[in-house]
Amino acid sequence: MAEVRIENLVKVFPNGTRAVNDVSLAAPDGEFLVLLGPSGCGKTTTLRCVAGLERQTSGDIYIGERVVNDLPPGERDIAFVFQFYALYPHLSAYDNIAFPLRAVGVAADEIDRRVMRVAETLRIKHVLRKRPRSMSSGEQQRVALGRAVIRRPQVFLMDEPLTNLDAALRSDMRVELKHLQRELGVTTLYVTHDQTEAMTMGERIAVMQLGDLQQVGTPLEVYQYPATLFVASFIGDPPMNLIPVTLEGDALQGASGHLSLALAPDVAGAIRQKQSGPGLVLGVRAEDITLSGGDEGDMRGEVTTREPLGDQALYSVGLDGQFIQITTAPTTRFGVGDAISLSIDRSRMRVFDAATERALV
Amino acid sequence: MTTQSITPETTRPAAKPGLRLRWLSDRLLAGTFLAPTLLLLLFITIFPLIWSLYLSFTSYNVNSDPSWLEAKWVGVDNYVYMLTTPRVWERFIESATFVVPTVTLEFLLGFGIALLFNREFKGRGLITTVILIPMMVAPLVAGLFWRFMFQADIGIVNYLIHDVLGFQPVFWLTDRTSAMISLIIVDTWQWTPFIFLISLAGLTAVPKYLYEAADVDRASTWFKFRHITLPLVWPLLLIGIIFRLMDAYKLFELAWVLTSGGPGTRVLPVHLYKIAFGDFATGRASALGYIMLVVIIALANLLVRAINRSRAAEV
C-alpha cells in the first residue's frame, strides 16, 4: 500500500484545453479520497494522469516514494476501474478477472485459486462462465472490480464506477465498495460527479471546478465550511443560500434594507482586513436559519412556498429578488404570504469575497 | 374501459369506401411491384443456372448441335470425364497455386498495413485513399497496363531490373513460373487494399479503453495483440478472406489479359472458357462449372462456420 501525492499537476491538451490547472493533492496510505466536481472539471483527467493513461504537461506524481511521471500504467502498480467497466467483450467473467494475472504469466493453478477467492468475495461465482454481454450491469460492475482487486495493487483508481447502475443498486454498491476498500486497506482515488456518493464514501473530498482544486476536506468540513462560492453552491441539497451583502459598520447589509446582520467586532474586523472590494456574499445553510412570526430577526420576508417533506418542511422566502431556502421542523405552520422574520446562526455562517469567490470567515 | 376505446376511433378520419380496391391486398401490391425485378433475376441468373445444370448432363455442343433440345443425355459422363482427366486436376492445382499464395499475401500485407495505420498521424486520410486506388481500377485495365510494364524488352520492370540494377532481365509473362508470379503480383497489388480496408474497419472498431485497461493490467504489446486485437478483429478478417478466396478462385480477366491463359497461368476459369468457347464442348464446360461451384461452396461453408464459431464465442 502506498500514499499518492500529486504536486502542481498541469494538463493541457493538444487542442489548448487546460483540463487540470496546478493541482496539488495527497492521499495518505489507505485513504478513500473522492475527486468531486461537475463534468469537465478535470477530475477524470487528474485520475488518468495518476494512472499514466495521460501524460501530464507539468508537475509530479508520486506513488509511495516513487516518482511515476515517466512510468507506463503497467509499472505503476495500480488498478483502474473504468466508468463503462471496459471488460473484454470476448472473454468470460473468469477470463476477465484472470487477465491481469495471465498478462504477467502467473501459473494456472494460482490464477484459479485467486479468481475463485475474488469471485467469492464479490459474490459473482455464478457468472464466471458468462460473457459481459449476458451479464447485468451490476454483475459487470463486480467483475470489473474483481479484475481490479485480484492483483492487490498499491492504489485503486476508480472513474465513476457506479454511474451506470440504477439507483437502488447504486446505494447497495456504495456500501459494499466502501467495505471492500476498508477491508483491503488500499489507497483509493475515486472520481464522481455525484455529491451523495462523495459524502457517503469519501474519507476526504477534493472538490474541483474548471481544472482548479477548490477545497479538500472531510465531507462535513466541505459541507459546513465551503472554501469557495462554487463549493457552497455545489455541495448540499438544497445548496447553501448565497446572499449579496456589504459590510457597513459592524453589520452586513442586504441590498434593499430587508437584511441587517450585526456581527461581533472581531469578525467584522477580520472581514474588513481580508476583503478585496466592497462586494461580499453571505452563505448560510437552510437548516441554520430559524423562522419566527415577530420582528426581531436578521431578515424580513414573505413565505413564497412551503414544501412539507415529512421529516422536515422546506420554506422559500423571497428576498430582494432571490429565494432563501429554509428547512425547519415539520411542525412549523407558516402559510404562503405570511410575513416572517429569519434569524441566522452566526456560528455556522460563511462570508465570501464576491470578487475572489473565496471564504473570508 | 369503454370510454377509453371509443375516443381514438371517433378522432380517426373515416375511410373513404370507394377508393379502396378490395381485391388488392397489401401482399398482392408488394408482389406486383417486385415482379419485374424478380422476373429479370429469374431470367438472367436462375434460368441459366438450371439450364446449364441440364446441359451438364448432355453432350451438347453449341457450335455443331442444331438445337439444345436434341442434345444427347449422357448422365454423369461429363462429370466422370472432368474428374478423371489429369489435365483438369492440373488446372485445380494451378488455381490453388495462384489462390493460396495470393490470398495469404494479400492478408498479411493488408492486415499489416492496417496495423500500421491504426493510429493518428498526419495525412492518414489522404494516404488511405491513395492506398485504395488500385481496388477502384477495372481488373481488365489493371491487367493491360501491368502487361505493358511486364513486357520483356520494353517494359519498365525489366528496365529497372536490367538497365538500372544490372541484373538479368526476367521473361515475366512467358516463363511458366514467372508468369504465375506476375499474376500473383498484380492480383495482390489490386486487392491488398480490400483486406487493408476491412482490417482497418475492424481495428478501429476495437474500443480504445480496452487497450487502456490492458495497459493498466500490465499486458505486453504482444499479449494485447494476441488476446484483444486478434480475437476481436478475427471474424471480420475471415469475411474478407472469404471474399478474396471466392474472387481469386474465379479470376479470369487478369489471367486472360496478362498471358491469355498461357503456360503456368491456365487457372480454372480460363480453362473453363477454353473448353466452352474454344472446343465448344458446352456439356463438359457446364459440368466443370458445377464442379467448381461445389468446391467453392464447400470452402466458403467451412469459413462461414469458422466465423459463426467465433461469433458464438462472443455471446
The residue written with cell numbers 452586513 in the block is: A252
Rounded CA gap, A149 and A93, in Å? 14
Rounded CA gap, A156 and A347, in Å? 38
Residue A115 placed within a domain: yes
Q: Are residues A322 and A282 in the same domain?
A: yes
Query: Which residues in chain B have their CB less than 8 angstroms from residue A103's CB?
Result: 214, 217-220, 223, 227
Number of domains in chain A: 2
* Mean pLDDT calculated for residue range A97-106: 93
Rounded CA gap, A40 and A208, in Å? 10
Residue B32 placed within a domain: no
A204: confidence class by pLDDT, cuts 50, 70, 90: very high
Least confident range of A60-74, A253-267, B62-76, B208-222: B62-76
Instruction: Output the domain CATH number for residue B173.
Output: 1.10.3720.10
Q: Residue B118 sits in which domain range?
A: 77-312
Residue A359 placed within a domain: no
pLDDT at A191: 95
The residue among B301, B238, B226, B239 whose CA lies nearest residue A90 is B226
* Mean pLDDT calculated for residue range A75-91: 92
The amino acid that residue B115 corresponds to is L
More confident residue, A163 or A33: A33
pLDDT at A335: 87
Q: Are A216 and A23 in contact (CB under 8 A)?
A: no
Q: Are residues A136 and A75 in the same domain?
A: yes
Computed over every residue of chain A, the mean pLDDT equals: 91
Q: Are residues A195 and A146 in the same domain?
A: yes
For B215, nearest residue in chain A (alpha carbons): A74
Residue A361 placed within a domain: no
Q: Where a domain ends, among A184, A216, A232?
A: A232
Cell (9 digits) for A236:
448540499
For B210, nearest residue in chain A (alpha carbons): A86
Residue B34 placed within a domain: no
The alpha carbon of residue A218 is apart from the nearest alpha carbon of chain B, in Å, by 29
Query: Which residues in chain A have their CB less than 8 angstroms from residue B217's CB?
Result: 74, 99-100, 103, 147, 151
More confident residue, A259 or A23: A23
For A77, nearest residue in chain B (alpha carbons): B216
Q: Are residues A39 and A178 in the same domain?
A: yes
The alpha carbon of residue A157 is apart from the nearest alpha carbon of chain B, in Å, by 10
A223 phi, psi to nearest 5 deg? -75, -50
pLDDT at A244: 92
Number of domains in chain B: 1
CA terminus-to-terminus distance, chain B? 43
* Mean pLDDT calculated for residue range A87-115: 94
* Mean pLDDT calculated for residue range A309-324: 88
pLDDT at B4: 43
Residue B63 placed within a domain: no
pLDDT at A222: 94
Rounded CA gap, A73 and A50, in Å? 9
Residue A87 placed within a domain: yes
Q: What are residue A5's DSSP bridge partners?
A: A26, A62
For A53, nearest residue in chain B (alpha carbons): B212
Cell (9 digits) for A79:
488498478
Q: Where a domain ends, among A181, A204, A232?
A: A232
Instruction: Output the domain CATH number for residue A226.
Output: 3.40.50.300
Please answer yes or no on whether A88 and B228 come within 8 Å at the CB atom.
Answer: yes
The pLDDT tens digits of the residues spanning B122-148 come to 999 999 999 999 999 998 999 999 999
- Asked if residue A19 has pLDDT above 60, the reply is yes
Residue B19 placed within a domain: no
Please answer yes or no on whether A79 and B209 come within 8 Å at the CB atom.
Answer: no
pLDDT at A5: 94
Residue B61 placed within a domain: no
CA distances from A350 to A234, A238, A314, A325, B237 (A): 15, 16, 21, 16, 64
Q: Are residues A216 and A268 in the same domain?
A: no
Is the reported ipTM for this assembly greater than 0.90?
A: no
Residue B132 placed within a domain: yes
* Mean pLDDT calculated for residue range A2-30: 93
Rounded CA gap, A128 and A95, in Å? 8
Residue A358 placed within a domain: no
Q: Are residues A254 and A291 in the same domain?
A: yes
Residue A10 placed within a domain: yes
Q: Are residues A211 and A252 in the same domain?
A: no
- Asked if residue A167 has pLDDT above 50, the reply is yes
Q: Are residues A301 and A279 in the same domain?
A: yes
Residue A360 placed within a domain: no
The alpha carbon of residue A85 is apart from the nearest alpha carbon of chain B, in Å, by 9
Please answer yes or no on whether A75 and B218 come within 8 Å at the CB atom.
Answer: yes
pLDDT at B1: 39
Three-state secondary structure along B110-170? HHHHHHHHCCCCCCHHHHHHHHHHHHHCCHHHHHHHHHHHHCCCCCHHHHHHHHHCCCCCC
Q: Are residues A306 and A167 in the same domain?
A: no
Q: Are residues A251 and A218 in the same domain?
A: no
pLDDT at B132: 93
Q: Are A204 and A31 in contact (CB under 8 A)?
A: yes
Residue B171 placed within a domain: yes
Cα torsion A135, A139, A143, A149 to 10°: value is 180
Please answer yes or no on whether A99 and B314 come within 8 Å at the CB atom.
Answer: no
Q: Are residues A217 and A250 in the same domain?
A: no
Q: Residue A107 sits in which domain range?
A: 4-232
Residue B259 placed within a domain: yes
Q: Is B220 on the interface with A (CB under 8 A)?
A: yes
Looking at the partner chain, which of A80, A89, A103 has a beta carbon nearest the beta carbon of B223?
A103
Q: Are residues A227 and A322 in the same domain?
A: no
Please answer yes or no on whether B212 and A82 come within 8 Å at the CB atom.
Answer: yes
Mean pLDDT per block of 10 residues along chain B (315 residues) reads 43 55 83 93 91 91 79 89 90 93 96 92 91 92 91 86 85 87 94 95 93 93 94 91 92 90 86 91 92 92 86 60
Instruction: Output the domain CATH number for residue A311.
Output: 2.40.50.140
The alpha carbon of residue B303 is apart from the nearest alpha carbon of chain A, in Å, by 19
pLDDT at B181: 92
